[in-house]
Amino acid sequence: MTARTPITALTDVETDFMTRKARGCDFPQIARDMGITVYAARLIGRSLFERLGAHNAAHAVALAIGLGLIPADVATSTATHTGGHDGPVR
């Protein structure tokens, strides 16, 4: 197993993605809001989740907040989006 390089910053796109994910947006909503395809949103998410070592989106958000990559109050700063889920609950 290789050691993971700690993440100390996110790009503007990654920060935008994680902020929207923290607010409860699903991939189609994130794609619409960011003006990208759902496929691109999923690629951004997959890359971030892997870099963070997250098991799912909720874990990624918790890690990002814990690492100071997004503010802790981001999930409560605006209304949340609903309308779907990002995969099966395990």
CATH code of the domain covering residue 65 = 1.10.10.10
**Residue 22 domain flag:** yes
- Domain range for 59: 12-70
Give the model's pLDDT for residue 78: 54
| Per-residue pLDDT tens listing for the chain (90 residues) | 455 566 888 999 999 999 999 999 999 999 999 999 999 999 999 999 999 999 999 999 999 999 999 999 987 765 444 444 444 433
pTM of the predicted model, to two decimals?
0.76
What is the token pair recorded at 43?
């690629």
Give the model's pLDDT for residue 36: 97
Positive or negative: CA dihedral 11, 69, 39, 36: negative
* 22 burial level (CB within 10 Å; 0-12, 13-18, 19+): buried
**Residue 6 domain flag:** no
| Number of domains present in the structure of the chain | 1
Give the model's pLDDT for residue 4: 59
